[in-house]
Structure 1
Amino acid sequence: MSTTETASLFDNLETLSTTQLLAGMNQLDQTVPLAVQKALPQLEALIEATVARLREGGRLFYIGAGTSGRLGILDASECPPTFGVPQGLVVGLIAGGDSAIRKAVENAEDDAEQAWRDLSAHDINAKDVVVGIAASGRTPYVIGGLEQARQHGLTTGCIVCNAGSKVAAAAEFPVEVVTGPEFVTGSTRMKAGTAQKLALNMLSTATMIRLGRVKGNKMVDMQLTNAKLVDRGERMLMDELGIEQDKAAELLQRHGSVRAALAAHNGQ
């Protein structure tokens, strides 16, 4: 039995008070960053491979089912507004298609052929990277997708929460974040989901930094799509250039991004 399916360390949950329930969940959640820490060397190898492929013009694809698939879609959807990359550079695919984002599609994860069909719809090629996300490490949709991708010469990685899984065996660059039993037995949207979110944060953020999408510690390529982000951009320019807000606002409006405004001001 996989460790994510083993019995919870807590029992008789229905008899516990809200205070006790929260304390128990929080106690287990504190173990997740330590599990991620142990997987950092594996994550580093995957990031280095991803950076290399994206520099060659490749793309990053996430494939997963259920919570894992939704986490991949979340991470992919946040890359364009955060780092200013084009739509389609990072793509999240979920078993069952877009309708499965909001509502479970029964048995979709059991089709070992569908992931490659989903990837093929995006004209997948050997420059691309496919990362499978599966807490259990045994999801057929993910295993089949990784196997097909590897056979076609693509770089493959995965994020799983059990050791020695079939998903990890199918990936060239496996990342195994072993989170152990859940508070509610088998509910991998909890600790395992948190671990996957942390790993995905690291994968996409470190990749984008390595690709030059961050300057100093600032998101200079972020899309200025609302008032909060415009204000953030103005403050970046004020801090970087030592100018007043009205001047920063004028620069940002004229040039459309923090990076472009900095380059124009510095005569680049």
Structure 2
Amino acid sequence: MTSNANHHDLRDLRAELETLTTEAFRPELAEIDQLPTVEIARLMNGEDATVPAAVAARLPLIAAAIDDVAERMARGGRLIYAGAGTAGRLGVLDASECPPTFNTDPSEVVGLIAGGPRAMVTSIEGAEDSRELAARDLADLALTPDDTVVGISASGRTPYAIGAVEQARKQGALTIGLACNADSALAAAADHGIEVVVGPELLTGSTRLKAGTAQKLVLNMLSTITMIRLGKTYGNLMVDVRASNEKLHARSRRIVALATGAADDEIERALAATDGEVKNAILTILGGVDGPTAARLLEESHGHLRAALAAAPH
């Protein structure tokens, strides 16, 4: 009986996969392995060039999701990615790049991958098929209504990603479902469904290609624009950084120089007066205030440098 049930499950899965755009077979590429290498590269590059347009078609949905995320993070909420395989790895990658880029605490943007950290480099069999595993992983984080959980899945049917979104909604958190197929279960389960339909892959079902690129582009937007909305930048400068080593000190000096146009000695004095905090140093120069006043003004403006400058006594 179990064998028959498994056979039916596999048949159902095969039928379902055949309906997914990301799994579609492209007969015109059936002899791609016979082509010269440069021609395969040209084909692949041409495929990749279509991805930004697919993302562009979803920009209003992406922007609406970002505004909701930023509103919650401003109240102390977290941004949590959840996915399996390539989708999970992309979420972990985006989360891990936020602390060095925006000086966030590692707990503020979190990446969950089905199967845990070992799944970053090794395939963990069956992990993606478990809604329960996603619920357990989220339980460890003690979700609040100010948190956001982003389920990521190229197919839009991965149980781990769907389970994460469903569990998060039960606990009152904001949810986003990022998929690469239309009418996906993942997008339907989320508050914000974002379906970036990139079409069939160069290699049938290899969703680390166009689908993976599309997911990377959207995750770049989610984290980067959220951080811009939270005041982590001044213009297009990454000002929420502290000069804690030589490389960062050089970068900090350059950022302060670009923001203020001040001379080197003035920049050095400002960084020394603010314990190497770039945002504070810029405020001391442009706002004409001392270090403690800069710190107070930034605290009162919730870290937004433009608001702090407007409040500085000129």
Select the structure of larger CA radius of gyration: 2
Most deviating of 179-188 and 233-242: 233-242
Report the TM-score, using the length of structure 1 for normalisation.
0.95
Residue 247 of structure 1 and its aligned partner are, at CA, apart by 4.3
Most deviating of 238-247 and 151-160: 238-247
- Written as runs of structure 1 = structure 2, the 5 A alignment for 1:1-268 is 1-8=19-26, 9-224=28-243, 227-252=246-271, 254=273, 255-265=275-285, 266-267=288-289, 268=294
Residue 237 of structure 1 and its aligned partner are, at CA, apart by 1.5
Q: Tell me, yes or no, if the aligned pair for 2:241 and 2:279 is still in contact at 8 Å.
A: no
Which protein, 1 or 2, shows the higher relative CO under an 8 Å CA cutoff with sep ≥ 6?
1
Q: Tell me, yes or no, if the aligned pair for 2:244 and 2:276 is still in contact at 8 Å.
A: no
Paired residues, number: 268
Letter of the structure 1 residue corresponding to residue 278 of structure 2? V
Q: For residues 226 and 15 of structure 1, do their structure 2 counterparts lie closer, same or farther at Cα, with a shift above 3 Å needed?
A: farther
CA distance in 2, matches of 1:230, 1:72: 29
Letter of the structure 2 residue corresponding to residue 68 of structure 1? A
CA distance in 2, matches of 1:242, 1:230: 17
Residue 149 of structure 1 and its aligned partner are, at CA, apart by 1.2
CA distance in 2, matches of 1:263, 1:163: 47
* Equivalent position SS for 2:138: helix
Q: Is the helix fraction higher in 1 or 2?
A: 2
CA distance in 2, matches of 1:187, 1:199: 19
Aligned Cα root-mean-square deviation (Å) = 1.6
Q: Tell me, yes or no, if the aligned pair for 2:95 and 2:109 is still in contact at 8 Å.
A: yes
Alignment gaps of 5+ in structure 2: 1-18, 295-314
Most deviating of 223-232 and 163-172: 223-232
Q: Tell me, yes or no, if the aligned pair for 1:80 and 1:223 is still in contact at 8 Å.
A: no
- Residue 7 of structure 2 corresponds to which residue in structure 1? none
* Equivalent position SS for 2:29: coil
Letter of the structure 1 residue corresponding to residue 277 of structure 2? S
